[in-house]
Amino acid sequence: MRKLGPWSVLKISFVFYVCVLVVFLGAMLILYGALGAVGLLDTVSGLIEDLGWSEGFEIHGDWLFTRALAIGFGLVVLWTLINVFVVFLYNLLSDIVGGIEVTLSERR
């Protein structure tokens, strides 16, 4: 491979990292629902109140998920830009070195 298209890498990386974000948020939603159904979230809230760290402490799912979504979109943009930067570096190095040569042979 001699060159990689930065625009192609940008599009594919963005779609890939958005899919990773959707999977992560889906897993977080399932985990939050399961912990809420078991009653662990209420137990943790009660424990924090009993320890005196905070009065009237509650775990709010909407707060957690909006922050996770904001941080996730920030990471999607960051890692997409990192991939594009790496492609530019690869293209510069392949101009100097000559790229990667792949040789395929048939088995007989």
| Interval 27-36: pLDDT, tens | 999 999 999 9
Q: Within a domain: residue 107? A: no
Q: Within a domain: residue 102? A: no
The mean pLDDT of the chain is 90
Q: Within a domain: residue 103? A: no
Q: Within a domain: residue 108? A: no
CA–CA distance, 20 with 22 (Å, rounded to integer): 5
Q: Which residues contact 46 (CB under 8 A, 6 or more apart)?
A: none
Q: Within a domain: residue 65? A: yes
Q: Within a domain: residue 92? A: yes
Query: 44 and 106 in contact (C-beta within 8 Å)?
Result: no
**By residue range, what is the domain housing residue 21?**
6-97
Residue 18 confidence (pLDDT) above 80: yes
Give the pLDDT score at 94. 86
The domain total for the chain is: 1
Residue 24 confidence (pLDDT) above 70: yes
Q: Within a domain: residue 82? A: yes
Residue 1 confidence (pLDDT) above 70: no
Q: Within a domain: residue 81? A: yes
What percent of the chain has a predicted confidence (pLDDT) above 70?
98
